[in-house]
Structure 1
């Protein structure tokens, strides 16, 4: 079934908040192989001029998974997850985030591109991360949806 582009662009996704915790930042840093102590040691972070442990690059993606239903927008658009592939991910960093911050996360579908005669549809979702009114970062995720009804 083809993605309903108008419905996708009009879809309202719930905004939610996540508290950034030190333990979670330390674990994430270890998992990605980050060895700079500013990401695991509060004193090292403060000595480097940070108020607390800074958020490592790409950590924001893990916060997206805290949504009440992180992949629920596929259900809302009648997209079968068995037909979805991760296509692309990009981040734009605007300001530093730290342990102790409460981050507000808002998401929306910003584009649907159809290729291969409708056989592939690219659903682009943009996510904003804010501390209060301050924009911290934006993430762009592209999901590739295979339309089984198109065989060409």
Structure 2
């Protein structure tokens, strides 16, 4: 049974994290950032930033700050062994910095099937804010390979 369209609009609880310099430095190194503004506070300030700026794609990790970061998809009865991360997009509104308290607000935006129901797609949208100020909008799509006789369990 496919994921029901009734889950569209379902939101999870907001997730908040304070951005730490050490995490930004590790992320910058892991993603190959070469601009010193991402790791050196003096370079960041010389570049006009109040602190280390958040590197591109770091914001995706805010949703992972919960005990079960994939509960939003497993609650739909999806076996994570059948999931492929298909797309990820970022639309930035303002720069975030070390020391900022950022909150992620995520909502299931769409569900649909392709290949005669053999593939299910779930689109999720996440707004990142600093207080009431929008920082970025994230979108991701996951594709689920439906195996024979698969039944979906829970609701989101």
Would the TM-score normalized by the shorter structure come out above 0.5?
Answer: yes
User: Separation in 2 of the partners of 1:146 and 1:2?
Assistant: 11
* TM-score with structure 1 setting the length: 0.93
Query: Unaligned stretches of 5+ in structure 1?
Result: none
In structure 2, C-alpha distance between the alignment counterparts of 1:62 and 1:105, rounded to whole Å: 10
Equivalent residues in 2 for 1:36-55 (5 A)?
36-55=35-54
Which residue matches 2:154? Answer: none
Q: Do 2:127 and 2:137's aligned partners in 1 also have CA atoms closer than 8 Å?
A: yes
Higher mean alpha-carbon deviation, 75-84 vs 121-130, is at 75-84
Length, aligned pairs only:
149
Distance 2:104 2:58 in 1: 13
1:106 — aligned with what? 105
| 2:61 corresponding residue in structure 1 | 62
What is the alpha-carbon distance in structure 1 between the residues aligned to residue 74 and residue 39 of structure 2? Answer: 38
TM-score normalised over the length of structure 2: 0.91
Q: CA deviation at 1:105?
A: 0.8
State whether residues 11 and 107 of structure 2, in contact with CA within 8 Å, keep that contact through their aligned partners in structure 1: yes
Gaps of 5+ in 2: 150-156
Looking at structure 2, the residues matched to 12 and 96 of structure 1 have their Cα atoms a distance apart, in angstroms, of 25
Shift of residue 77, structure 1, vs aligned partner: 0.8
Q: Deviations 1:59-107 (Å, cap 9, x if unpaired)?
A: 1112221134211012211111111111111111110000000001110
Q: CA–CA distance in 2 between the matches of 1:128 and 1:70?
A: 16
Deviations 1:88-145 (A, max 9, x none): 1111111000000000111010011211111111100011110000000011110001
Question: C-alpha root-mean-square deviation of aligned residues, in Å?
Answer: 1.3
Pairing 1:11–2:7 present: no
Alignment partners' CA distance in 2, 1:149 and 1:2: 12
Q: Are the counterparts in 1 of residues 11 and 105 from structure 2 also a CA contact under 8 Å?
A: no
Which residue number corresponds to residue 86 of structure 2? 87
User: How far apart, in 1, do the equivalents of 2:128 and 2:67 lie?
Assistant: 16
Counterpart in 2 of 1:146? 145
CA distance in 2, matches of 1:83, 1:35: 36
